[in-house]
Structure 1
C-alpha cells in the first residue's frame, strides 16, 4: 500500500507525490470518509500485519479508563479491560490517556476559572542542569484531582489573561494574550504549564539518528545566523545512561517508552517498569528499588509504546482531489495548490526553516521496519532554541533554560481544527495561549525574532499564503 489521493473523474486512487508525504511511506492517505476528526488516529500507511496487532493492542490501553477498565469508545459494548480497573492513583489529572489527548489531539482549550486537568503542570522547588529538587507539596508535577473526598484541592486554572496588541508594519494588529494562573494549593517556586500535544509521527521522530539531529545543532552560532540549536541530554531512568532528548515541550524525554511512562505516572498515578513506585512522582531517588508488580506490565508498556510509534502522519493536503462536477468538496480538501506552494516558498524565504527544518531522514536501526529510512517533512530540528522572555516560564529542565523550547513539529497543525472540533478550540504554543497561527508567530522572540520580523514585513497577501501553507500540513 502506498499513500494515495483521488483524482478525476471519480476519485480514482493514485500515489501521492513524494513532496506531500510528511511522514514518508508511513503517511496517512487523503481521507474521503467525511471524518477528518479521526485523522490523528490512523496507523502508519505502510504498517505490517504483526505490527497492526501490536498497534490495536496498544490502542486499547490508550483508550482504557483506569477507574473501571472501560473503553472510551462504546464503553457499554466493548469488553472491559478488567486488569486495569481500580488502578487509578490516589492523585491524578485524568483517568485515561485519551482523556487528555482527545482523538489523539491536544488539550481542551483553557477557560478562565476552570481546572486545567487536561494540561500538565510541571513544578520544582529549584532546578539546574544537574537535576531538579521536587516541590515539597506537589513533587514533580501538580496532580490536580484526588480520589479521596477530603483530599486537598490542588486545582490550577487560568485566572485571567494579560492582553497586548502587536502592530505589523502595514497596520494589521494582532492581539496577544498571556495567561495568569491561580493555584488552589501553594504556589510553587518554579512551574511550567503545558498543553498535551497531538500524538502523531512519534515513532518517526524516534527513528531519526542522534547524529542527524546533532548535525543541526549550532550552540555557539558558528555561522552567525543568530540561530543556535542546543541538544537537551536526558538520563534514562531505567539504565542511568545519557541520551538525546527529543520528546516533550523542552525535549526532556529521550524515548517514547519514557514519555509514556512519565505520563502514566504523573497524569494518571499509574506505575510501570520505568517508574515502579508512586514515590517516583515525588522525586525519590530510590523509587525504583521496589521488586513488587507494577500496574502496567512490561508487555502492556511495550504495546502502548508500539501504538504511539506506529501512528501515522496525515499527508500534506496541498493537492486538489478529483471530485465530479456538482459533488460537494469536503472542507479538508478545499485547498488552493498554487497558494500553498507560494506560501511554502515564502516560509523558507523568511527563514522559518532555520529551526522548523523541512526535511529529515530516519535511520536504519529502529525496531519497526516501517519507520526506517523514511524521508520526513516534520518541520522541526528537535533542538532547543531561546524563544525570548515573552515565552519564558520559570522551570528549566536540563539544558533547557526558562526561555528555551524544543522546535515543535508542524506536521498536523492544519488538521487541528477538525480534530479539536473547530478553530475556536485550537490552541498553539506550549501553554495554549495562542488562539491562531498569527498569534503563535507573533509570540516568537529570541532566536526567532529575525524570522518573525521578515514574516511581519510581508504583504498581507503573502502572510496569508504562509498561513495557507501551514494549514495544509
Structure 2
C-alpha cells in the first residue's frame, strides 16, 4: 500500500469513528439511478442502440450492498488547480461629472480571457458542452421518506459529504453531433484528480414507467476503459472513458426508439466510484475492515451520486423543474431563471435550507474543483482549522490553525452567513457577534474616513484573551411604532436600541450579513449598464434619483464603481472578502496584509511576511462566491402525483404570483429594484458572461429617509443612503435561516416581515410605499407572494 497516497496505519488507528454517519440499510445505491423500471435496455423492449464501453461488471441494482459509511479522513491531500489566466489591465473611462467622478476604471477589459471554456461549437455545428460535477449523497427526488409519507426530514441530495473538497470533482464532455446532422452524442468522463473505478451513468428518465418516482432511468451504463481491457477505470489526465448513444430512449412501453431531435431533453445522472480498498481494481487484496470501500487516496468515502442535470439536444444544460407525470424533468422557463443559466433547478429532496450553497448550473469541470476548495475555506475555522461540517471526519486545515486575530467576531465565514444566508438575529441582551458594527470618529466623513480610537473601523466584540475588555454590543430594547395602513390593517414597527459595553462610538452603523448568492453575476454586470440607470438630477421627475458610489481599490488606488455591501462601499468581490476577513476575524490577506488596516494605519499595506490567506486561497474564496447558483423563482406548480404531499416551498399560487409581480411594477418599486439586467462579456468566468438575470436591484444608492438613517457615511453614501438590495433569494430566507420567524430584513435586521420592511421605506421610496399601502389587502398579499417566490 506504500505506493498509495495514504497513511494506512494512521487510518487503522481511526477505527473508533467508523460508525460516524452510518447510512441505513434502506439507503442503498439503488442502481446509481436505476430503481423501478430502470434497465440497461430500452423501456418496453426493442433493440438497444449501440452503447460504447458496455460495462464488464454487473450494474448495481436495488439490492446492491450498502454504501460505504460516510466518514472522513485525517489525510489532507493537495489538489492544485491550474493557474487562471492573468487579467489584462483596464483603461480609465470618463463619465459625466453629475455621477460624482470624472473618470473610473472598469473591472474587466474587453480582452479578458475566460478561465475555462464551458461550451463551444465546432465548424461542422457539433456542440461541445463541459459539465462540472461534485459528489452528493443521494438522488434529486429523494425526500428523506417515501413520497406518500408524512415529512420525517430532508433528503441528502444538496449535502456535501466528508472530504468533498479533495479528489472528488470531475466532469463530462458532451459532444452533441445532432446539430451537425448526425445521430450521435458522445460523452467523455474527465476526472480532475486521482482515479475513478466503476463510475456509472444513467440517462433518459423513464417517465413512461408508472413505478418510477425517486429515480429510474431508461439507460444505465458505465464508463469503461478500452485501454485497460474494458475495465471501468478512468484516471485524471486521460480521455479514455466514453459512452455514446444514437437514439432517444424515453419512449412509451413497447415502442421502438426514435431518432434524436433538436430540443430533446435528456436527464443525466452520473455516479462516481473512486479507487478503493478491497474492491474493484483492489478486489482480493488484504484490507483492514475499517478501510474496506474507502478511497485509496485519502481513506474517505469512495461512492457517490452527483447532480442530476437536464441536457437539451442542440442547446446544452438547462435548469429544470418537475412536471407531470411524476415530476418528470422539463426546462424551466427563462422568466424564472433569476440567475440566468447559473440558476439552481427546483429542489425536490426537501432541502430548501441548502439552496444558497450550490454550484452554478452551468459550472465548468475545473471550476467545480475551484468551487469546492473555496467552499472549504469559507467553512474553515481560523482558530482550530476544523470544518463546520463533519468536524471530526474532515481533515484539519492545518495551514489556518491559530490565525484568528486577538479580537474577532466569528472564527469562520459561514458563522455570520447562516447556510450562506443572513446573520442570525440574537435576542435582547445577546451579543451581536454575527453582525457587523461599523464605527468612525466624530470627524469622519464619507470621502475622508477616520477610524474610531477605541474600535477602529468596526467593533470586534470577542477576544481570545479571556481577561480582555468586554467590547460587546447588543440590542438593549426596541422602540415600537404602531402603523396603520389606509384600510385599517395594523403593522408594528420596531427599531433597535443598542447597548455598548465599551464607549459609544461617535458614528456607527449595525449591519446584518447578507446572503451571498449571485455575487459573481453582480461583478459581471458592465459598469455602463449600471450607470445608465442612475438619475442624480431626477430628470424624469419621479422622485427617484439613484447615484453610484465610487470606491478606491485598496490594492492599487484605482477608482471603481461600488457594488457590494449595504452602501455599495466595496468595488470587487475580492475586496469584499478581504474586508470581511480583516474586520470579522482579524485574518490578513493580500487585500489587507496587516491587522493595522482595520484602523486605517497609513503604512498597513507595507507589512512584510506572508498573509494568513495566500493569493491562491483568496482566489479560491473569490471563485466559490462567484460561482454560487441563484435559486430559480418558485412561481410554477410542480407535477407532484396526486397521492403525494406537496413540499411547502412548492405550494405556490402561480396566478397570485403573476398578479403580485404586475402590482410590484405598477407601484413603481422597479424604479430601484430593476427586474432584469444582462451581464457583460468580459468577466473571466464564462459561466457568468452574457446572462439575462433578474436581480431586482440597480446597485445604486438611494436616500431612504430619516427612518432608516444611521450615523455613518461611506464614500458618496450619506447616513440615509442605501444600495438597493437584490431581491433574488428573498423567499428562501425563511428556510435558510431556520424558520419564518428567524428571517430578518433591511440592513440591521429590524424588520421581522416583508410587510414591515416595505413600510419602513421612506425618502425616494415613499411614493412606492404609499402605492403599495393603498392596494387592497388581497393585492398586498399578492405582492408579498411574488416577493416570496424570488
- Report the TM range for the smaller structure's normalisation: over 0.9
In structure 2, runs of 5+ residues without a counterpart are 1-316
CA shift, 1:110, in A, is 3.1
**Which residue in 2 is equivalent to 1:390?**
707
Q: Deviations over 1:358-412 (max 9, x none)?
A: 0011000001000000001000000000000000000000100000000000000
CA shift, 1:166, in A, is 1.0
Q: Does 1:369 align with 2:369?
A: no
The answer on whether the counterparts of 1:319 and 1:337 sit within 8 Å (CA) in structure 2 is yes
Q: Does 1:424 align with 2:737?
A: no
CA shift, 1:50, in A, is 1.1
CA shift, 1:291, in A, is 2.4
CA distance in structure 1 between the aligned counterparts of 2:350 and 2:531, rounded to whole angstroms? 41
**Which residue in 1 is equivalent to 2:716?**
399
In structure 1, runs of 5+ residues without a counterpart are none
Secondary structure of the 2:746 match is coil
CA shift, 1:285, in A, is 1.4
CA distance in structure 2 between the aligned counterparts of 1:58 and 1:31, rounded to whole angstroms? 23
CA distance in structure 2 between the aligned counterparts of 1:57 and 1:175, rounded to whole angstroms? 44
Q: Does 1:144 align with 2:461?
A: yes
CA distance in structure 1 between the aligned counterparts of 2:763 and 2:746, rounded to whole angstroms? 15
Name which of structure 1's ranges 273-282 and 125-134 shifts more when overlaid on structure 2.
Answer: 125-134
Secondary structure of the 1:317 match is coil
**Which residue in 1 is equivalent to 2:571?**
254
Q: Does 1:282 align with 2:599?
A: yes
CA distance in structure 1 between the aligned counterparts of 2:409 and 2:607, rounded to whole angstroms? 25
Name which of structure 1's ranges 98-107 and 439-448 shifts more when overlaid on structure 2.
Answer: 98-107
Secondary structure of the 2:436 match is strand
Q: What is the TM-score with the length of structure 2 in the denominator? A: 0.60
The answer on whether the counterparts of 1:250 and 1:400 sit within 8 Å (CA) in structure 2 is yes
1:336 corresponds to which of 653, 672, 681:
653
CA distance in structure 1 between the aligned counterparts of 2:495 and 2:680, rounded to whole angstroms? 40
Q: Does 1:79 align with 2:391?
A: no
Alignment of 1:51-66 (within 5 A): 51-66=367-382
Alignment of 1:197-276 (within 5 A): 197-276=514-593
The answer on whether the counterparts of 1:107 and 1:119 sit within 8 Å (CA) in structure 2 is yes
Q: Does 1:112 align with 2:436?
A: no
Q: Does 1:177 align with 2:498?
A: no
Secondary structure of the 2:784 match is helix
The answer on whether the counterparts of 1:110 and 1:432 sit within 8 Å (CA) in structure 2 is no
**Which residue in 2 is equivalent to 1:18?**
334
**Which residue in 2 is equivalent to 1:101?**
417
The answer on whether the counterparts of 1:67 and 1:88 sit within 8 Å (CA) in structure 2 is yes
**Which residue in 2 is equivalent to 1:50?**
366
The answer on whether the counterparts of 1:105 and 1:416 sit within 8 Å (CA) in structure 2 is yes
Q: CA RMSD in A?
A: 0.6
CA distance in structure 2 between the aligned counterparts of 1:424 and 1:229, rounded to whole angstroms? 32
CA shift, 1:326, in A, is 1.1
Indicate the structure with greater helix content: 1
CA shift, 1:129, in A, is 3.4
Q: How many residues align?
A: 473
CA distance in structure 1 between the aligned counterparts of 2:478 and 2:668, rounded to whole angstroms? 31
The answer on whether the counterparts of 1:235 and 1:243 sit within 8 Å (CA) in structure 2 is yes
Larger Rg: 2
Q: Deviations over 1:55-101 (max 9, x none)?
A: 00000000000111000001000111010011000000000000111
CA distance in structure 1 between the aligned counterparts of 2:498 and 2:445, rounded to whole angstroms? 24
**Which residue in 2 is equivalent to 1:160?**
477
Secondary structure of the 2:634 match is coil
CA distance in structure 2 between the aligned counterparts of 1:249 and 1:237, rounded to whole angstroms? 19
CA distance in structure 2 between the aligned counterparts of 1:118 and 1:170, rounded to whole angstroms? 38
Alignment of 1:284-323 (within 5 A): 284-323=601-640
CA distance in structure 1 between the aligned counterparts of 2:425 and 2:608, rounded to whole angstroms? 40
Q: What is the TM-score with the length of structure 1 in the denominator? A: 0.99
The answer on whether the counterparts of 1:362 and 1:374 sit within 8 Å (CA) in structure 2 is yes
CA distance in structure 2 between the aligned counterparts of 1:110 and 1:355, rounded to whole angstroms? 30
Secondary structure of the 2:318 match is coil
Secondary structure of the 2:444 match is strand
Secondary structure of the 1:133 match is coil
**Which residue in 1 is equivalent to 2:322?**
6
The answer on whether the counterparts of 1:395 and 1:402 sit within 8 Å (CA) in structure 2 is yes
CA distance in structure 1 between the aligned counterparts of 2:424 and 2:627, rounded to whole angstroms? 24
Secondary structure of the 1:177 match is strand
CA shift, 1:290, in A, is 1.4
CA shift, 1:114, in A, is 0.2
Secondary structure of the 2:665 match is helix
